[in-house]
Amino acid sequence: MPPPRTVDARSGGASLAVHAALVLVSVTFGLMHVVAKGILDSLEPLQLAGLRALGATPLLLWAAWRHDRILPSRAELPMLALLGLLGVTLNQLLFILGLDRTTASNAAILMPSIPVFAIAVGALLRIERVGWRQISGVVLTVTGCLALLDPTRFSAARETAIGNLLILLNCLSYATFLVAQRPILQRLPWRTVIAWSFLFGTAGIVAITASPLRALDPAAVPAGAWLGLAFIVLFPTFLGYSLSTWAVRRSSPSLVALYTTVQPMAAALAAVLFLGESLGWPELVGFVLISAGVVVAGRR
């Protein structure tokens, strides 16, 4: 098997289709925060994580088999298991456990570290070469996120330290997942990669969430919560993970990671539309900087 080719993020921008897909991913993940806020009134966090993974995995496997009709070789399984651990098991559980031990503001302020970690991991593993445009884009988008999220709200109190660390580990896990996808995407179709990653990752989530899932009383969960769960399974999970993996194959891990900074912007707009919140000058400045960073990093 030939060694994986290093992708050069400096050599050119992504296509318009990739940018459109990543905008859609960011919007669905931004909406997920609003939807999940309502669902967690009826479901425990670990129950939500377990149901989300169990709902999305069969859909991903069905789509992969319908389009690809291949099974990964035995040699590819360890890498797919690692991707499942990083992108599914650790990514989802670390975020839930971290959010339970810190503030929502702290979690939101720490999330823009994902593109920073992606660039560092990509360079360290020699999977991606990054130039000044990508670095400038990350600086602009992270600055925009901080303007949008107001870093003065960050709490460094002792009781939030463990939660803050878990959120940072969550960001590192997801960034490494995006970077580590790139070599195997040169050997396997993208649908197969994400489907088998979820198969392994869901096994880990179910092992941890089995007890809360057994305690769940479906009849006690209102219909609105089930509809919200269906949205999370279909859009941020099935569609979001699929399009992100496709975009890594068509562009670069650093660009896909960069678009995670658009999620706070999408969440803020969703809060305006659905929760009646208002936008001020900090939010508008944040929108401009995030948009400029994406344009600088992703242009041809």
In tens digits, the chain (300 residues) has pLDDT values of 444 455 555 444 578 899 999 999 988 887 787 788 788 889 998 999 999 999 999 999 999 999 999 999 999 999 999 999 999 999 989 988 887 788 766 777 788 888 889 988 988 888 887 777 778 888 888 888 888 777 877 777 888 889 889 989 999 999 999 999 999 999 999 999 999 999 999 999 999 999 999 999 999 999 999 999 999 999 999 999 999 999 999 998 988 998 988 877 776 776 677 666 667 777 788 778 888 888 887 665
Task: Tell me the C-alpha distance between 129 and 10, whole Å.
Answer: 7
231, 35 in Cβ contact below 8 A?
Answer: yes
- Convert 112-138 into a string of H (helix), E (strand) and C (coil): CHHHHHHHHHHHHCCCEECCHHHHHHH
Q: Six-digit token pair at 212?
A: 């809360």
Q: What per-residue confidence (pLDDT) applies to 67?
A: 96
Q: What per-residue confidence (pLDDT) applies to 11?
A: 45
Task: Tell me the C-alpha distance between 70 and 226, whole Å.
Answer: 33
268, 104 in Cβ contact below 8 A?
Answer: no
14, 255 in Cβ contact below 8 A?
Answer: yes
Q: What per-residue confidence (pLDDT) applies to 21?
A: 95
Which residue is listed with tokens 């069905």? 62
Q: What per-residue confidence (pLDDT) applies to 298?
A: 64
Q: What per-residue confidence (pLDDT) applies to 26?
A: 86
25, 97, 221, 239 from 235: Cα distances, Å: 8, 23, 21, 5
Neighbouring C-beta atoms of residue 207, cutoff 10 Å: 10
Q: What per-residue confidence (pLDDT) applies to 7?
A: 53
137, 296 in Cβ contact below 8 A?
Answer: yes
